Amino acid sequence: MTWNWQQSDWPNFTWDAKRLRKAEEQFLVGSGIVAGTIKHLGDENRELLTIEAISTEALTTSEIEGEILDRASVQSSIRRQLGLATDHRRVKPAEQGIAEMMVSLYRSFADPLSDDMLFASHKMLTNGRRDLKDIGRYRIDDEPMRVVSGSIHAPRVHFEAPPSARVTSEMARFVKWFNRTAPDGSDPLPALTRAGIAHLYFESIHPFEDGNGRLGRAISEKALAQSLGHPTLTALAATILIRRKAYYEALEVANKANNLTPWTCWFAGIGLEAQKRTEALVEFLLDKSRLLDRLRGQLNARQEKAILRMLREGPEGFQGGLSAGNYGTITGASPATATRDLADLVDKKALYRQGERRHARYELAVGLRPVPQVKIDEYGNVI
């Protein structure tokens, strides 16, 4: 197998820019819609949006790699990093590290990429790790860096990265390319195109002993934020997590050639879907604010606890709907009390009910916004 970095045209990537034109236009239009909607948020909800966006990306980018982190701990660490009030809980190194890295990414989006920035991010990401030799520096091990699956006796090699001896020079070229293609660089590229190529390029080098996937997705977020001109996170990791199998398949194919048209089209679809997911979150926060304002002073402590718990599920809603049994678990209410509380919430138009008796399920009276998959067809149409 000849990998992309072993081919004579590496890293002179090619792609069909015409196939991406409509997607790039839609991304810019969508960015304006999101920015306009955010302006309608109050200070409290803007703060909540920032914390929710950063923590969701931190949690989902880790989950893609099979690491499940505690949301409350990640959010507590993010609040601390942003100088906001916290619950002073003890946060484990993994949650603290990813939170620090994502907040740093958010704050320093406009800064040029550099080796030192990547080294600092890697130190944050690997906070508390004792199993790695190369922390805060590019890998130097002589062993091949491979992505494999299957049994130890008959592994399937999905990708092999350049040897460690080449990493420093490859990364110097990558960093130069990233800064050159920035909006204010000498050879700027459109937002989705640059973010997609940056991710594939970085993953192809695989410069660190561990953490390359999370850093690569962070670099894509940095590219998108630079293109938009303001600090933002575009729910890339959250969207990739949903499409994880397709993500790894697309990466594996792209690692074998330097014509990136299939990869850039796939990634553009992910970028647009991620943007729609971000827009849905902003709209949900507006609906949430209106709902809580309308219900202020009308709910008992149990009802308020249940409503807030449902709202934490975000714009796609409480999975399967809320049952009377769930309500009792959340609030400690008896079955009879749960039935009365839920009927009262329906009367107050805080919830609406579907089904009857033991099959009854309750949803919040806010607009739920499931985000459909976005693809780019062979003609460049966004579908």
For 29, the token pair is 């239009």
Buried b (16+ CB within 10 A) or exposed e, 198-226: bbbbbbbbbbbbbbbbbbbbbbbbbbbbb
Instruction: Tell me what the mean pLDDT of segment 56-78 comes to.
Output: 95
| Residue 88's pLDDT band (cuts 50, 70, 90) | confident
Cβ–Cβ < 8 Å for 307, 350: yes
Instruction: Tell me what the mean pLDDT of segment 170-177 comes to.
Output: 98
**For residue 82, pLDDT beyond 80:** yes
**For residue 155, pLDDT beyond 90:** no
pTM: 0.91
Q: By percentage, how much of the chain surpasses pLDDT 70? A: 100
What are the residues whose beta carbons fall under 8 Å from the beta carbon of 361, sequence distance 6 or more? 320, 321, 322, 323, 353, 354, 355
Task: Tell me what pLDDT residue 312 has.
Answer: 85
| Residue 367's pLDDT band (cuts 50, 70, 90) | confident
Instruction: For 349-359, write each residue's pLDDT tens digit.
Output: 999 999 988 88
The Cα–Cα gap between 202 and 136 comes to 16
Task: Tell me what pLDDT residue 368 has.
Answer: 66
- 57: helix, strand or coil: helix
Peptide bond into 11 cis (omega under 30): yes
Question: Residue 363 pairs with which residues in a beta bridge?
Answer: 352
Task: Tell me what pLDDT residue 235 has.
Answer: 94
The helix (run of H) or strand (run of E) holding residue 211 is none
**For residue 76, pLDDT beyond 80:** yes
| Residue 150's pLDDT band (cuts 50, 70, 90) | confident
The helix (run of H) or strand (run of E) holding residue 130 is none
Instruction: For 126-135, write each residue's pLDDT tens digit.
Output: 999 999 999 9
Cβ–Cβ < 8 Å for 96, 86: no
Instruction: Tell me what the mean pLDDT of segment 77-103 comes to.
Output: 93
Instruction: For 191-205, write each residue's pLDDT tens digit.
Output: 999 999 999 999 999
Instruction: For 226-249, write each residue's pLDDT tens digit.
Output: 999 999 889 999 999 999 999 999
Task: Tell me what pLDDT residue 152 has.
Answer: 81
Instruction: For 243-298, write each residue's pLDDT tens digit.
Output: 999 999 999 999 999 999 999 999 999 999 999 999 998 988 889 989 999 999 99
- Delineate the domains of the chain, giving CATH numbers in brackets: 4-282 (1.10.3290.10), 299-383 (1.10.10.10)
Residue 88 or residue 100, greater confidence: 100
**For residue 317, pLDDT beyond 80:** no
Residue-averaged pLDDT of the chain:
94
Cα angle 62, 227, 269; round to 5 = 60
**For residue 318, pLDDT beyond 90:** no
Task: Tell me what pLDDT residue 105 has.
Answer: 96
